[in-house]
C-alpha cells in the first residue's frame, strides 16, 4: 500500500479495536436499514397486514402471521423487530439528510466568512456564535413547535439547530488556510475566488468537518427521537424510533416493557457506535495529543 | 471593562428584539386559538366578543406592537387555557424547574469533575476506561429513554421510588420546595438523575480532556519538580487551569438543562416550566408559548453575559486586554 495520509490514518484507526468494532456495527446497521424490506418479516406500515389481536404481545409470541415476533409487538399489532428496522431507516434518513444539508450550509457560511473577511465575517460569525449559545434541542424544539408536525418541518428544524456547528468548524479551519502561501499563490495566478475557495481551501478544511459530521448525524438522530417523543416531530403514521418509544411509554407502567425498551436499545447501540467512531477520528486528528 | 459590558448589553438588546419578533410571528402564524377558547356551538356574538377581548381581530403587526408595549409594562397577557396572567403562571412554575435544574447541575459538577480529572490523570487505567465508557453512554443515551429506564427499574420493578410528581412540598418565603421533605426528596432523585446524565458525561469529558493535556504541560512538570504532591498539583494547579472551560460550560449548561427539563418534566410529570410549555403547545396557548420562549431567550442572554464576565474574572489575560 502506498504511504498516503489516508493509509496512515487507516493503519492507526485499526489499532483501536473498539473503534473498528463500532465502525463495523455502524456499517451493518446502515446496511440492514437500507435493505429493510428484504430482511423484515412484515411491512409495519402496511395496514392490511396488521392484526389487532396480535397487539402488545410479549417477545417470542407467534402471531396470526405464523412467525415468531422475537421482540414482541406494539400497540397496533406491528412486529416490533420490523418496526424497529423501518424506524431506524426513517431515523437514519432524517439524520443524514438534515446533517448533510447543515454541513453544506455550514461549510459555505464558514468558508465564505473566512475568505471574504471584514464586516461580513464578523457579522456572520457573531450570528453563528449566538446560535451556538442556545442548546440545539431548544432551537429545534422551538422551530418544530412553530412549524408543526411533519417530515420537512422536522428536517428544517434539525438543519437550523445544526448548521452553526459546521459553520464554526469550517470557519476555524478555513481562516487558518486563508493565511497560507499556497492560497496567495493561487490568487496571484490568478484563479477565481470561487475556485480558490472550493478547490483549495475547502478540501483542506474538510477533515475537521468530517469529525463534526459523524457526531452531528448521531445527535440529529437523537434530537429527532426526542422531538418525536415530545410530540412535535414526525407524524405517527410512519413511526421513527422516537415515536415507537413514545408509543410504548404508556404501557411501560403496566409492565409491557418491550414496546419502549427495544427501540431505545436499537437507537442507543447505533448512536454509541457512531460516537465511538467519531471519537477515534477526532483523537487521531487532534495535534495536541501527539507528543 | 465597562465598554465591554455596554457592548454586550447592546448586543443583547438587539437579540431580544429579533427573538421577540421571530417568536411572535412564528407562534401566531400557527393554528387558530379561537377554536381552543370557544366551544364550536357558541353563538356568533360570543365568538366576536372573545376575539375582540383577546385582540385577535387586529392585524398581525398591530398585535405585535401592542404585545411589545404590554411586555414593557411587564404584562405578558392572559393564558387562554388557565385564564390567569401568564407572568404569574410562569413564576408559579419556575421554582419547581429551578429546583430540578440546580439539583441536576450540582450533581453533575460535584461528581463529574473529580472522576473526570481522575480519568485524565490516569488515562490508561481500567477504571478510567470504565469512566469514559459511562461518559460515552451518557452522551449517547437520549434523555427521555434514560428517564423511561429509571422509571421502569426504580418505580415499576423495584417499587422503591415514586414515578412522577413533586411529592410533599414545604413553603419557604412563599415558594414551594420539594427537597426539604423526605417525600419531596424521594420525588426529586429520579428526575434530577435523569436530567444530570448529559451534563455529567460532559463534565467528565471536559475535565478529562483538560487534565490530560495539562499533565503534559510545563506547569505540571515544574510543580512536580518543586516537590509538590500529586494531589496538590491536581487540586491547586490543574483544577484551576481547567476551571475556565468548566465554568463556561457550567453556566451554559444551566441554561440548556432548562431546555432538557422539558423532556424530563414530561416523563416524570414534574409540574415545572417544561411541562407547561409542552401543554401550551398542544393546546395552542399562544401567550404562554410566547412568554416562555421570551423568558428562555432572556435567560440565555443573561447567562451568556455572566459567563463572559466570569471568564474575564478568571483569566487575567482577558482582564488585562479589555481593561
Domain that holds residue B128: 92-284
> Among residues 233-252 of chain A, which lie with CB inside 8 Å of chain B?
242, 245, 249, 252
Q: Which residues of A touch B156 (CB under 8 A)?
A: 252-253, 255, 257
Q: What is the pLDDT of residue A236?
A: 74
What is the C-alpha to C-alpha distance for residues A140 and A129, in angstroms, rounded to an integer?
16
Residue A83 has pLDDT above 50, yes or no: yes
Whether ipTM > 0.90 holds is no
Which residues of chain B approach chain A closer than 8 Å at the C-beta? 11, 15, 23, 26-27, 29-30, 136-137, 139-145, 148-149, 151-152, 155-156, 163, 212-213, 216, 252, 255-256, 259-260, 262-263, 266-267, 278, 281-282, 289, 293, 296, 300, 304
- A228 to chain B, any CB pair closer than 8 A? The answer is no
- pTM of the model as a whole: 0.78
B278 is a domain residue = yes
Residue A41 pLDDT exceeds 80 = no
| Pairwise CB contact (< 8 Å): B144 & A261 | no
Chain B residues near residue A225 by CB distance under 8 angstroms? 142, 144-145
Query: Phi first, then psi: what are they for B171, rounded to 5°?
Result: -85, 125
Res. B321 pLDDT band, cuts 50 70 90? very low
- Per the CB < 8 Å rule, is A231 touching B262? no
Instruction: Give contacts of B262 with chain A, Cβ < 8 Å.
Output: 137, 141, 230
Q: What's the whole-number mean pLDDT along residues B292-307?
A: 77
Domains contained in chain B, number = 1
Chain A residues close to B267, C-beta within 8 Å: 249
Residue A105 pLDDT > 90, yes or no?
A: yes
Residue to test with chain B: of A133, A147, A156, A240, most B Cβ within 10 A: A133
**Domain presence at residue B213:** yes
Q: What would the pLDDT profile of B188-238 be if each residue is shown by its tens digit?
A: 888 898 888 888 888 898 888 888 888 888 888 888 888 888 888 888 888
What share of chain B has pLDDT > 70, as a percent?
85
When pLDDT is averaged across residues B146-156 and rounded to a whole number, the result is 84
In chain B, whose CA is at the least distance from the CA of A268? B141
Q: Is B316 exposed, middle or buried (0-12, 13-18, 19+ CB in 10 A)?
A: exposed
Higher per-residue pLDDT: A68 or B198: B198
Each residue's pLDDT tens digit, B15-51: 778 777 777 777 666 656 666 666 667 777 877 777 7
The secondary structure element, H or E, covering residue B67 is helix B60-72
Share of chain A above pLDDT 90, in %: 6
pLDDT higher at A23 or B47: A23
The tally of CA atoms less than 13 A away on the side-chain side of residue B87 is 8
Search chain B and give the residue with CA nearest A221. Answer: B142
Is residue A1 predicted with pLDDT exceeding 60? no
Of B140, B144, B296, the CB nearest to A271: B140
Decide if B135 is inside a domain: yes
pLDDT of residue A291: 44
pLDDT (mean) for B51-72 = 76
Residue A47: pLDDT above 80? no
User: For chains A and B, what is the number of CB pairs under 8 angstroms?
Assistant: 107
What pLDDT, on the 0 to 100 scale, is given for residue A102? Answer: 94
- The pLDDT of residue A103: 93
Split into its structural domains, chain A has a count of 1
Stretch A98-113: mean pLDDT, rounded?
91
Q: Over 80: is that where the pLDDT of B182 sits?
A: no
Question: What pLDDT score was predicted for residue B323?
Answer: 38
Are B38 and B54 contacting, i.e. CB atoms less than 8 angstroms apart?
no
Q: Is the pLDDT of residue A143 over 90?
A: no
Which structural domain range is residue A59 located in?
5-289
CB contact under 8 A, A226 and B296: no
Chain A residues whose beta carbon lies within 8 Å of the beta carbon of residue B30 = 146-148
Query: What is the per-residue pLDDT for A99?
Result: 93
Residue B291 lies in a domain: no
Q: Is the Cβ pair A291, B216 closer than 8 Å?
A: yes
pLDDT tens digits along A232-254: 777 777 778 888 888 878 787 77
B140 contacts A218? CB cut-off 8 A: yes
Q: Name the burial class of residue A269, with classes exposed (0-12), middle (13-18) and buried (19+) by CB atoms within 10 angstroms of its CB.
A: middle
* Residues of chain B contacting residue A288, judged by C-beta atoms under 8 Å apart: 213
Q: What pLDDT was estimated at residue A288? A: 59
Q: What is the CATH classification number for the domain harbouring B107? A: 1.10.3720.10
- Chain A hits for B296, CB-CB cut-off 8 Å, are 138
Most A CBs within 10 A among B148, B159, B308, hence the mutation to make, goes to B148
pLDDT of B320 above 70: no
- Interface contact flag, A218 B141, Cβ < 8 Å: no
Q: What is the CATH number of the domain that holds A216?
A: 1.10.3720.10
Mean pLDDT along residues B1-6 = 70
Shortest Cα–Cα distance, B174 to chain A (Å): 30
pLDDT at A241: 83
* Cβ partners under 8 Å of residue A270, min gap 6: A25, A26, A29, A88, A218, A221
Amino acid at each position: 500500500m502506498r504511504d498516503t495520509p489516508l493509509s496512515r490514518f487507516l493503519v492507526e484507526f485499526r489499532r483501536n479495536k473498539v473503534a473498528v468494532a463500532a465502525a463495523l456495527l455502524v456499517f451493518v446497521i446502515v446496511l440492514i436499514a437500507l435493505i429493510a424490506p428484504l430482511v423484515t418479516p412484515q411491512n409495519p406500515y402496511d395496514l392490511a397486514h396488521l392484526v389487532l389481536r396480535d397487539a402488545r404481545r410479549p417477545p417470542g409470541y407467534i402471531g396470526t402471521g405464523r412467525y415468531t415476533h422475537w421482540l414482541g409487538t406494539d400497540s397496533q399489532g406491528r412486529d416490533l423487530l420490523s418496526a424497529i428496522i423501518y424506524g431506524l431507516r426513517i431515523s437514519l434518513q432524517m439524520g443524514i439528510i438534515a446533517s448533510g444539508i447543515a454541513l453544506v450550509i455550514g461549510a459555505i457560511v464558514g468558508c465564505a466568512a473566512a475568505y471574504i473577511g471584514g464586516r461580513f465575517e464578523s457579522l456572520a460569525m457573531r450570528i453563528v456564535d449566538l446560535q451556538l449559545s442556545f442548546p440545539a434541542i431548544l432551537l429545534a424544539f422551538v422551530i418544530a413547535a412553530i412549524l408543526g408536525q411533519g417530515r420537512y418541518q422536522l428536517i428544517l428544524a434539525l438543519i437550523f439547530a445544526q448548521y452553526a456547528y459546521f459553520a464554526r468548524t469550517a470557519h476555524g479551519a478555513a481562516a487558518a488556510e486563508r493565511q497560507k502561501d499556497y492560497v496567495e499563490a493561487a490568487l496571484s495566478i490568478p484563479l477565481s475566488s470561487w475556485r480558490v475557495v472550493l478547490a483549495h481551501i475547502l478540501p483542506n478544511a474538510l477533515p475537521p468537518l468530517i469529525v463534526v459530521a459523524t457526531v452531528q448525524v448521531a445527535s440529529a438522530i437523537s434530537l429527532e427521537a426526542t422531538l418525536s417523543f415530545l410530540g412535535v416531530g414526525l407524524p405517527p403514521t410512519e413511526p421513527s424510533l422516537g415515536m415507537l418509544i413514545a408509543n410504548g411509554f404508556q404501557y411501560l407502567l403496566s409492565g409491557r416493557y418491550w414496546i419502549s425498551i427495544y427501540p431505545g436499545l436499537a437507537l442507543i447501540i447505533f448512536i454509541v457506535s457512531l460516537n465511538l467512531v467519531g471519537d477515534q477520528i477526532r483523537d487521531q486528528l487532534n495535534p495536541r495529543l501527539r507528543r | 471593562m465597562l465598554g465591554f459590558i455596554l457592548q454586550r448589553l447592546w448586543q443583547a438588546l438587539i437579540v431580544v428584539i429579533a427573538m421577540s419578533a421571530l417568536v411572535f410571528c412564528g407562534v401566531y402564524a400557527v393554528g387558530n386559538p379561537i377554536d381552543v377558547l370557544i366551544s364550536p356551538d357558541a353563538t356568533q356574538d360570543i365568538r366576536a366578543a372573545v376575539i375582540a377581548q383577546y385582540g385577535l381581530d387586529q392585524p398581525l403587526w398591530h398585535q405585535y406592537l401592542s404585545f411589545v408595549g404590554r411586555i414593557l409594562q411587564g404584562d405578558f397577557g392572559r393564558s387562554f387555557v388557565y385564564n390567569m396572567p401568564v407572568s404569574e403562571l410562569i413564576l408559579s412554575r419556575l421554582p419547581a424547574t429551578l429546583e430540578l435544574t440546580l439539583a441536576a447541575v450540582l450533581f453533575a459538577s460535584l461528581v463529574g469533575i473529580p472522576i473526570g480529572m481522575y480519568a485524565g490523570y490516569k488515562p490508561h487505567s481500567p477504571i478510567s476506561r470504565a469512566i469514559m465508557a459511562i461518559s460515552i453512554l451518557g452522551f449517547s443515551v437520549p434523555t427521555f429513554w434514560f428517564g423511561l429506564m429509571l422509571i421502569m427499574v426504580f418505580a415499576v420493578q423495584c417499587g422503591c421510588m415514586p414515578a412522577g410528581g413533586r411529592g410533599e412540598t414545604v413553603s419557604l418565603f412563599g415558594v414551594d420546595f420539594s427537597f426539604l421533605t423526605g417525600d419531596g426528596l424521594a420525588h426529586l432523585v429520579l428526575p434530577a438523575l435523569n436530567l444530570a446524565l448529559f451534563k455529567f458525561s460532559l463534565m467528565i469529558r471536559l475535565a478529562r480532556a483538560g487534565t490530560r493535556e495539562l499533565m503534559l504541560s510545563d506547569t505540571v512538570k515544574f510543580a512536580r519538580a518543586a516537590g509538590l504532591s500529586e494531589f496538590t498539583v491536581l487540586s491547586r494547579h490543574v483544577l484551576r487551569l481547567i476551571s475556565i472551560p468548566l465554568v463556561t460550560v457550567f453556566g451554559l449548561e444551566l441554561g440548556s438543562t432548562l431546555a432538557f427539563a422539558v423532556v424530563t418534566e414530561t416523563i416524570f410529570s414534574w409540574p415545572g416550566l417544561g411541562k407547561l410549555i409542552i401543554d401550551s403547545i398542544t393546546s395552542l396557548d399562544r401567550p404562554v408559548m410566547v412568554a416562555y420562549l421570551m423568558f428562555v431567550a432572556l435567560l440565555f442572554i443573561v447567562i451568556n453575559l455572566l459567563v463572559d464576565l466570569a471568564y474575564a474574572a478568571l483569566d487575567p489575560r482577558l482582564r488585562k486586554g479589555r481593561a
